[in-house]
Amino acid sequence: MIEEIGLKVKTASKEAAKLSTAEKNTFLQKLADSLVENTDRIISENAKDLAKAKGHGISEIMVDRLRLTAQRISDMATGLRQVAELPDPIGQVLQGFTNLDGLKIVQKRVPLGTVGMIFESRPNVTIDAFSLCFKTGNSVLLRGGSDAIYSNMVLVEIIKENLLSAKITDGVVELLSDTSHAEAEKMMQADKFLDVLIPRGSARLINRVKEKATVPVIETGVGNCTIFVDESADLDMATRIVINAKTQRPSVCNAAESLVVHAKIADEFLPKLQNEINKVHEVEFRADERSLKALSAGIPATDEDFGMEFLDYILSVKTVDNLDEAIEHINTYSSRHSESIVTHDYFNAQKFQDEIDAAAFYVNASTRFTDGFVFGLGAEIGISTQKLHARGPMGLEALTSTKYLIDGCGQIR
Amino acid sequence: MIEEIGLKVKTASKEAAKLSTAEKNTFLQKLADSLVENTDRIISENAKDLAKAKGHGISEIMVDRLRLTAQRISDMATGLRQVAELPDPIGQVLQGFTNLDGLKIVQKRVPLGTVGMIFESRPNVTIDAFSLCFKTGNSVLLRGGSDAIYSNMVLVEIIKENLLSAKITDGVVELLSDTSHAEAEKMMQADKFLDVLIPRGSARLINRVKEKATVPVIETGVGNCTIFVDESADLDMATRIVINAKTQRPSVCNAAESLVVHAKIADEFLPKLQNEINKVHEVEFRADERSLKALSAGIPATDEDFGMEFLDYILSVKTVDNLDEAIEHINTYSSRHSESIVTHDYFNAQKFQDEIDAAAFYVNASTRFTDGFVFGLGAEIGISTQKLHARGPMGLEALTSTKYLIDGCGQIR
């Protein structure tokens, strides 16, 4: 199965690379209209996934992530139109010059080829991932979770119908209908067909991909983000930032999971924070011994807690004696996604920015801002937590490679 | 062993990242002087490797690759001085802006961290790799071949002596003294310590690394480069280009290994080429049936021959009826390193550049130009044949990542 479908996607990637910007944009606009026109059809297929989920006794939060409504379908269409309006990175010349031998050397942006995406739950990723890969001249092989299979299938069907009527090979998008782990593993090892694999989902999924994949992987989205409240911090500001980073949307990767507090202000800050945050939403504090003394409620933190992405109203807390200890703690436990320091001290802010190893580093702001749209990319295929190829929010450029083109007139060496 | 040495390199990477440009450049200049001062010591250690190699009955070409002379040591020193003079990419701001919320967002170039290099034979790679990693604020773990172990050890010793007298941690460079395959495999799986692994050597080495590594790999240097001689080619120019690409230095990755000829000119071109190239050096032609008819000597090519990097005076030859067949052949067998078309036809040149999937694509020039120095990088750590992170000749930038730094004044979302 993966052999057949892989070959199809690989073959289609050559056609995808040749599509003009106008063809790509026109198609994405048409697809946006078509999604809205097919609202009822999508909702009725989505209902099958919802019924299955309820039958399995899945939590209401997870069911909600799965649900497609007229509004959400209209939002997907809006997303498609936005991608259509972004500048096309393909063909962009990054640099060029004429060398000593008279060779005209140009470095040009080209598609990666075929992209594999493995994702969980939310069916809108199907449309998102397709649109970004298509805009960058790549073909894409999608593997969504079994819980969203009916929704994913109908969305890919609609894309394919539109591709066929636009006379574009429908192999530019394929969905693995077999959602078994065995089939996913074959996909992770399909070097022959895939140029890159982007997993999007839980830490468990991403670790499984890292372990099994022979296709080059871009790790995304595991965010064990930490906020350090320094001794010179404005404690009101620190309270606002921690409350926002922890509670505004706890299920996302740029939410804060961990708090590190300077010992000199721990006794004042921790009770104040706990009091204020619980007015917004009750939060469980998992804290080290020193922090527990300052808190009115909390449970002892394990080493595991400090390394954990809770994605829930839980916060790990650690009290430190100085900046170096804070840096050491964060570099030990963080997932290198986003970290923040709240401070008034110029040198501490500088030292933190220099010594913390993370994709995004904030001074006096919430970690919640790490996002392709906030960072001006106009789109987001995921947030890379690795250092090769792309780091932090990935937009269209992360789905491209480059090629040197050299024009000569008989030069030899 | 790898645990201990890996931890040392990893720890040292934090110090390496903090070195100022002046400290790095001064050190590289001092090291250059020191290498020259230690010429006799290096040559006497190198003699042990040479004696071992001769004892094993290794070919004179291979022994020569291993040999260090006063001239070659002086060349290594010159290389170090050139790297010292290159601009430091670390700290460079790639982009920055103030967003709607007033956050000041800046994307900055940072070191990768720790680089692993696995290489064969030539001991000068030890100095090359160290200097490029050091200049980019990385630490490096080197694993050279057993045949060059005495040479590599003395070179690393000299680097370490200089590091200590410059009061820089000597963990920024380590050499695996155990050159067993088992130890190399452990290195390929040392994710905990290494941020990237760069193999440099034969196709066999690179394939082994790809297969075994869990550390992210940048594939380098396997060059099955092809030249296509189109029906409209200037046959004198085509002859010069093929002779240069095949014979000027057959042991390097940008030498041509394969020739594809348009059927309309095969009968005229092939005998002409064979006659001229044999005046420079005798070349074995491994050709398909149609090409064999035009050649005065040659042996039938197998499928394997078309995919082979000979690194020798051997050329595979294929005759095709049209451009599409040539493109198909090259995309099937090439290693995506460098390809060239010799043509007078504007549209064919364009089509080739667009549809051939390779790091470097030439029109009317020899493939021998693919090189970090020719391409203006000022240095070269290898030539990437993959599409992620870096493609084609890799200079200092390929050894870096980026980091977003965001300055706020209390922003929440």
Residues A32 and A181 in one domain: yes
Structure-token match 């073909």, residue found: A139
On whether residue A141 sits in a domain, the answer given is yes
Pairwise CA distance, residues B52 & B31, whole Å: 28
* pLDDT mean by block of 10 residues, chain B; 413 residues: 94 96 98 98 97 87 89 96 96 95 97 95 90 98 95 98 98 95 94 94 86 88 94 98 96 95 98 98 97 97 96 96 97 95 97 94 98 90 94 96 97 96
Quick check: A221 pLDDT over 90?
A: no
Structure-token match 């409240």, residue found: A229
| Whether the Cβ atoms of residue A135 and residue A88 lie closer than 8 Å to each other | yes
A389 to A394, B90, B368, B371: CA distances (angstroms): 10, 16, 27, 21
Q: What is the DSSP string of B235-304?
A: HHHHHHHHHHHHHS-TTSTTSEEEEEEEHHHHHHHHHHHHHHHHHHS--EEEE-HHHHHH-SS-EEPPHH
Paired sense of beta strands A299-300 and A360-365, if any: unpaired
Give me the pLDDT at residue A201, please.
84
Give me the pLDDT at residue B202, please.
83
Burial of B173 (0-12, 13-18, 19+ CB in 10 A): buried
Average pLDDT over residues A142-169: 97
- State whether A195 and B402 contact (CB < 8 Å): no
CB distance from A354 to chain B under 8 Å?
Answer: yes
Task: Give B348→chain A minimum CA distance, Å.
Answer: 13
Give me the pLDDT at residue A202, please.
83
Q: Residue B342 maps to which CATH number? A: 3.40.309.10
Instruction: For residue A103, list chain B residues with Cβ-Cβ distance below 8 A.
Output: 365, 369, 374
Quick check: A67 pLDDT over 90?
A: yes
Pairwise CA distance, residues A226 & A341, whole Å: 9
Residues A19-45: pLDDT tens digits? 999 999 999 999 999 999 999 999 999
Give me the pLDDT at residue B166, please.
98
- State whether A361 and B405 contact (CB < 8 Å): yes
3 state DSSP class of A218:
coil
Task: Give B400→chain A minimum CA distance, Å.
Answer: 8
- Token pair recorded at residue B316: 């595979």
Task: Give the torsion sign (CA, B153, B158, B161, B164).
Answer: negative
- State whether A216 and B97 contact (CB < 8 Å): no
Instruction: For residue A208, list chain B residues with Cβ-Cβ distance below 8 A.
Output: none
Residues A296 and A211 in one domain: no
Please count the residues of chain B: 413
CB pairs under 8 A between A and B: 193
Using left for φ > 0, alpha for ψ between -120 and 50, and beta otherwise, residue A213 falls in beta
Paired sense of beta strands A114-119 and A139-143, if any: parallel
Residues A274-329: pLDDT tens digits? 999 999 999 999 999 999 999 999 999 999 999 999 999 999 999 999 999 999 99
Q: What is the DSSP string of B331-351?
A: HHH--SSEEEEE-S-HHHHHH
Pairwise CA distance, residues B215 & B210, whole Å: 10
- Cα-only R_g, chain B: 24
Average pLDDT over residues A242-250: 96
CB distance from B366 to chain A under 8 Å?
Answer: yes
Residues A403 and A361 in one domain: no
Residues A210 and A234 in one domain: no
Give me the pLDDT at residue B61, please.
76
Q: What is the DSSP string of A127-148?
A: HHHHHHHHHTT-EEEEE--GGG
- State whether B216 and A214 contact (CB < 8 Å): no
- State whether B391 and A411 contact (CB < 8 Å): no
- State whether B406 and A362 contact (CB < 8 Å): yes
Residues A287 and A364 in one domain: yes
- State whether B360 and A245 contact (CB < 8 Å): no
Secondary structure letter of residue A280 according to DSSP = H
Paired sense of beta strands B93-98 and A284-287, if any: unpaired
Give me the pLDDT at residue B64, please.
87
Report how many domains make up chain A.
Answer: 2
Q: Residue A91 maps to which CATH number? A: 3.40.605.10
Q: What is the DSSP string of B39-53?
A: HHHHHHHHHHHHHHH
Task: Give A180→chain B minimum CA distance, Å.
Answer: 24
Option in B216, B375, B413 nearest A404 (CB)? B375
Option in B391, B402, B408 nearest A401 (CB)? B391
Pairwise CA distance, residues A128 & A132, whole Å: 6
On whether residue B377 sits in a domain, the answer given is no
- State whether A359 and B195 contact (CB < 8 Å): no
| Whether the Cβ atoms of residue A115 and residue A139 lie closer than 8 Å to each other | yes
Q: Which residue of B has its CA nearest to A409?
A: B364
Residues B53 and B18 in one domain: yes
HEC states along A361-403? EEEEECHHHCCCCCCCCCCCCEEECCCCCCCEEECHHHHEEEE
Closest CA to B395 of B156, B118, B133: B133
| Whether the Cβ atoms of residue B123 and residue B148 lie closer than 8 Å to each other | yes
On whether residue B323 sits in a domain, the answer given is yes
Pairwise CA distance, residues B282 & A227, whole Å: 69
Instruction: For residue A362, list chain B residues with Cβ-Cβ distance below 8 A.
Output: 406-408
On whether residue B261 sits in a domain, the answer given is yes
Task: Give B294→chain A minimum CA distance, Å.
Answer: 24
On whether residue A379 sits in a domain, the answer given is no
Residues A187 and A241 in one domain: no
Give me the pLDDT at residue A14, please.
94
Q: What is the DSSP string of A53-80?
A: HHHTT--HHHHHHH---HHHHHHHHHHH
Residues B97-132: pLDDT tens digits? 999 999 999 999 999 999 999 998 789 999 999 999
Instruction: For residue B413, list chain A residues with Cβ-Cβ distance below 8 A.
Output: 244, 248, 366, 368-369
On whether residue B413 sits in a domain, the answer given is no
- Token pair recorded at residue B155: 């070179």
On whether residue A48 sits in a domain, the answer given is yes
Higher-confidence residue: B205 or A346?
Answer: A346
A247 to A238, A301, B21, B413: CA distances (angstroms): 14, 20, 42, 11
HEC states along A85-121? HCCCCCCCEEEEEECCCCCEEEEEEEECCEEEEEECC
Structure-token match 């609202």, residue found: A39
CB distance from A373 to chain B under 8 Å?
Answer: no
A52 to A72, A176, B315: CA distances (angstroms): 20, 19, 61
CB distance from A212 to chain B under 8 Å?
Answer: no
State which amino acid sits at residue A345.
D
Residues A157 and A174 in one domain: yes
Using left for φ > 0, alpha for ψ between -120 and 50, and beta otherwise, residue A376 falls in left
Option in B240, B402, B411 nearest A410 (CB)? B240
Pairwise CA distance, residues A376 & A343, whole Å: 26
A274 to A240, A242, A288, A310: CA distances (angstroms): 12, 10, 15, 18
Residues B344 and B397 in one domain: no
CB distance from A361 to chain B under 8 Å?
Answer: yes
CB distance from A385 to chain B under 8 Å?
Answer: no
Structural domain containing residue B345? 225-369
- Token pair recorded at residue B51: 């004696």
- Give residues 6 to 35 of A whose Cβ lies within 8 Å of B: 14, 17-18
On whether residue A412 sits in a domain, the answer given is no
Quick check: A121 pLDDT over 80?
A: no
Pairwise CA distance, residues A89 & A71, whole Å: 30
| Whether the Cβ atoms of residue B83 and residue B380 lie closer than 8 Å to each other | no
Residues A109 and A197 in one domain: yes
Q: Which residue of B has its CA nearest to A238?
A: B410
Find the helix packing angle between A21-37 and A149-165, rounded to 10°. 130
Residues A205 and A279 in one domain: no
Residues A171 and A249 in one domain: no
Q: In what order do the strands lie in the sheet with B284-287?
A: A93-98, A104-111, A400-411, B360-365, B338-342, B225-229, B256-262, B314-320, B284-287, B299-300
State which amino acid sits at residue A106.
V
CB distance from B280 to chain A under 8 Å?
Answer: no
- Token pair recorded at residue B377: 């990088």
Average pLDDT over residues A193-208: 90
CB distance from B233 to chain A under 8 Å?
Answer: no
Paired sense of beta strands A382-384 and A392-394, if any: antiparallel
- State whether B366 and A391 contact (CB < 8 Å): no
Closest CA to B345 of B368, B329, B316, B322: B322
CB atoms within 10 A of CB B11: 15
Paired sense of beta strands B93-98 and B104-111, if any: antiparallel
pLDDT above 70 as % of chain B: 100
Pairwise CA distance, residues A355 & A358, whole Å: 9
Instruction: For residue B411, list chain A residues with Cβ-Cβ distance below 8 A.
Output: 364-366, 369
Instruction: For residue B105, list chain A residues with Cβ-Cβ distance below 8 A.
Output: 374-376
Quick check: A200 pLDDT over 80?
A: yes
Task: Give B412→chain A minimum CA distance, Å.
Answer: 5
Quick check: A61 pLDDT over 80?
A: no
| pTM (predicted TM-score) | 0.93
Please count the residues of chain A: 413
| Whether the Cβ atoms of residue B55 and residue B362 lie closer than 8 Å to each other | no
- State whether A376 and B237 contact (CB < 8 Å): no
Pairwise CA distance, residues B174 & B187, whole Å: 12
Pairwise CA distance, residues B248 & B20, whole Å: 41
Instruction: For residue B112, list chain A residues with Cβ-Cβ distance below 8 A.
Output: 387-388
Give me the pLDDT at residue B224, please.
95
Instruction: For residue A355, list chain B residues with Cβ-Cβ distance below 8 A.
Output: 14, 18
Secondary structure letter of residue A359 according to DSSP = S
Structure ipTM? 0.93
